[in-house]
Structure 1
Amino acid sequence: MANYLKIFNIPNHYQFHRGGQIDNGIIAYETWGQLNQNKSNALLILTGLSADSHAARHSANDTAGWWEYMIGPGKAIDTNQWFVICASSLGSCKGSTGPCSPNPRTGQAYRFDFPDLCLEDIANTSVLLCQSLGIDRLHATIGPSMGGMTALALLLKHSEYCKHLVHIASGMASPPFSTAIRSLQREAILKDENFNQGHYSAANWPEEGMKFARKIGMLSYRSATEWADRFPRSLKKVPEHAFGSEFPIESYLEHHANQFVHKFDPISYLYLSRAMDWFDGHSYAQPRGSNPLGRVKLDGALIIGAETDLLFPVALQTELHQLLQKAGIKSELVITNSIQGHDAFLVDQQTFTQLVGDYLVQSAV
């Protein structure tokens, strides 16, 4: 366990949304800034599938984080003003308890004995973490991608726990195209001969399955418009063997797949991927057909999408915005012209810095 991580001990006999429980579970998290006296300046950042708690550098870890441009003194999420919390998701392999963690009853990794994981479980343990810090209500929850759906799960399960929502590149549920992409990723991992029903090792890692899963993912994270700009078709090389890598886009996919393959645990990937596809915010409508967000109490929301996002197209952000408005919640919808597709929130720094920073400034008034 990295010594810069803070640890929250999940209460024993923690019950999962779909049944099952764990003991001795932990959530690894990091914080930036200082909690004010009345504990009203807390922001919770909920991560995408493969991200961890290290969203930005801080005094205990000077390594750049996955949202470095967004978080820090004087930045859009200004840690001179806000107390920021980011945790590695329950079920991940980034310090928090997940299927690759040892089961205290056996001493061996849970593997598929880990309970069925839902985004509601990630949301619930995130609230428990924040409550353990004395935070009765968050000023805002900020969630991109999977984190956006987890933020909705949090609001649906804890309707008054957040004053504001910043929801990025996500939606009330995964559309069929997104589920198809993730289904193919899971299939690639499961069919790798080294996966061995989850009994793989560092020496026999399901590399090919993880590489294919990452390449499939990369096809959906960025846009064809961006790739047309970055990879002119005229640029190609002589392949090393018949049907070998010839075009720049092939090298790009291979490079990113090789970088990722040993950085994430295959079973954790399966669990988190499935949790995304299982989540359906519409199922919370009571009675059926009513507004599922009708009981949510928010002072305001910012919903951001990108025109080029294939995974979570703009119709999903529009739907969420309209549901919030029908629930009487002040909601602002912004669809950017970022060409980077689903990953725009990681890459289009100028646009997203402006949007998130301005909203937080206005929300503090």
Structure 2
Amino acid sequence: MSDARQWFALPSPFRMKRGGELVGARLAYETWGAPSATRDNALLVLTGLSPSAHAASNAQDPSPGWWEEMIGPGKYIDTNRWFVICVNTLGSCKGSTGPADVNPATGEAYRLDFPELTLEDAANAAFELVRSLGIARLDCLLGNSMGGMTALAYLAQHPGSARRHISISTAPQAQPFAIAIRSLQREAIRLDPNWNQGRYDDEHYPEAGMSIARKLGVITYRSAMEWVGRFARIRLQADQRDDDPFGFEFQVESYLAGHARRFVRGFDPNSYLYLSRASDWFDLAEHAAAPGPGSVESVLKRLDVERALVIGVETDILFPLSQQEQIADGLRAGGTEVEFVALDSPQGHDAFLVDIARFGAAIAGFLDR
């Protein structure tokens, strides 16, 4: 199997919003479909915190992607029609330059010497990639979760750069509940002795901290309704428990542990810290001409998007429906033709990864109109 990833060399030096710069940085991305003669059929996907650019299978890499049922020939995002680009976020560890990569100035991994990262930096990096592909204006910019915030930063810094926008389960600014959860996740990693101020290795890896961080995340990605429906108070069989008097007793505990095991060694802890903090820092109001009440709305009004689809989930506690309504109302006030879809899916924040049929129907319908 060949690697479907492609790499784009960012302008060097690449200057960051909060100071600092990257030299010789790159973005990993994948594409599906083909650009039209006029390159007016491009759809850019910006992802949540942990996914790679491999959103779907393709000829170079037939393994299933994280949005496999959504993207492809004849699927909801039909690659017979759209030229789809998915980029791995700057600062990640899935191919794009991040804290785990070598700092050319020192010959060693950046670790905590990586410049302070914002979602505006990630957005600008993606914008440079799009320009390098000869695309003057995206037909559609799609972002979900953290990627939705990055998409808003993209549009705020480059108004009119997309004709249409699909905003999924995201936020125009980080809110206290989400900040609190992410703060605890970062604390769990930093308090693990093996984190060692970011100087860990494969032998001394902050596994316990990463495990707790992932479990906290998974708990918030789903709704209480789904936890009850899936696990209730079902206990593990006697032979599935260990001798620790405070060890796992319920199936839900075992489920979270399994989720964490599959994640911890596949994601760099420092990258997790940087991207998590960038999410907390994000505030669309920073792009307003004047601070104060209504700043977010004033920015949304001038994003210069013709049409938008905003999708939220009633059971999402991490990015609540009220924030999706705020995005929809702000875009509408700026003259954008907005479709707002509120789904009652029990899957909570992760519904866009699970409830493909309903999300896909909304997205396909919007793209077809």
TM-score category of the 2 structures, normalised to the smaller one: over 0.9
Deviations 1:159-215 (A, max 9, x none): 010011100000101210000000000000001000011110001110000000001
Secondary structure of the structure 1 residue equivalent to 2:300: coil
Match of 1:104 in 2: 104
Report the AA paired with residue 48 of structure 2.
G
Question: How much does 1:277 deviate?
Answer: 0.5
Partners of 1:360 and 1:143 lie apart in 2 by: 14
Secondary structure of the structure 1 residue equivalent to 2:285: helix
Match of 2:290 in 1: 287
5 Å-filtered alignment, 1:182-197, equals: 182-197=182-197
Secondary structure of the structure 2 residue equivalent to 1:135: coil
Matched, 1:51 2:51: yes
Question: How much does 1:105 deviate?
Answer: 1.0
Partners of 2:278 and 2:140 lie apart in 1 by: 23
Asked if 1 retains the 8 angstrom alpha-carbon contact of 2:310 and 2:338, the reply is: yes
Deviations 1:62-107 (A, max 9, x none): 0000000100000010000000001111000000100110001111
Question: How much does 1:349 deviate?
Answer: 1.4
Asked if 1 retains the 8 angstrom alpha-carbon contact of 2:46 and 2:147, the reply is: yes
- Using the size of structure 1 for normalisation, the TM-score is 0.97
Query: Structure 1 residue aligned with 2:311, among 298, 304, 310?
Result: 304
Report the AA paired with residue 42 of structure 1.
A
Matched, 1:262 2:269: no
Moved more, 170-179 or 228-237: 228-237
Partners of 2:223 and 2:46 lie apart in 1 by: 24
Report the AA paired with residue 37 of structure 2.
Q
Report the AA paired with residue 21 of structure 2.
Q
Match of 1:28 in 2: 28
Match of 1:240 in 2: 242
Partners of 2:279 and 2:103 lie apart in 1 by: 24
Match of 1:226 in 2: 226
Asked if 1 retains the 8 angstrom alpha-carbon contact of 2:300 and 2:327, the reply is: no
Partners of 1:361 and 1:62 lie apart in 2 by: 27
Matched, 1:275 2:278: yes
Deviations 1:93-132 (A, max 9, x none): 0001001100011110001111100000110010100100
Match of 1:151 in 2: 151
Match of 1:342 in 2: 349
Secondary structure of the structure 1 residue equivalent to 2:309: strand
Asked if 2 retains the 8 angstrom alpha-carbon contact of 1:305 and 1:314, the reply is: yes
Match of 1:14 in 2: 14
Question: How much does 1:3 deviate?
Answer: 3.4
Match of 1:208 in 2: 208
Query: Structure 2 residue aligned with 1:323, among 330, 341, 345?
Result: 330
Gaps in structure 1 of 5+ consecutive residues? none
Question: How much does 1:332 deviate?
Answer: 1.2
Partners of 2:326 and 2:359 lie apart in 1 by: 21
Partners of 1:16 and 1:83 lie apart in 2 by: 29
Asked if 2 retains the 8 angstrom alpha-carbon contact of 1:46 and 1:144, the reply is: yes
Report the AA paired with residue 361 of structure 1.
D
Query: Structure 2 residue aligned with 1:252, among 234, 255, 270?
Result: 255
Report the AA paired with residue 336 of structure 2.
I
Partners of 1:178 and 1:287 lie apart in 2 by: 25
Alignment RMSD (CA, Å): 1.0
Query: Structure 2 residue aligned with 1:352, among 339, 355, 359?
Result: 359
Moved more, 157-166 or 276-285: 276-285
Secondary structure of the structure 2 residue equivalent to 1:292: helix
Asked if 2 retains the 8 angstrom alpha-carbon contact of 1:54 and 1:86, the reply is: yes
Question: How much does 1:236 deviate?
Answer: 3.5
Partners of 1:207 and 1:23 lie apart in 2 by: 31
Report the AA paired with residue 322 of structure 1.
D
Partners of 1:234 and 1:340 lie apart in 2 by: 19
Secondary structure of the structure 2 residue equivalent to 1:185: helix
Secondary structure of the structure 2 residue equivalent to 1:131: helix
Deviations 1:280-326 (A, max 9, x none): 01222223345122321111100000011010000100111111111
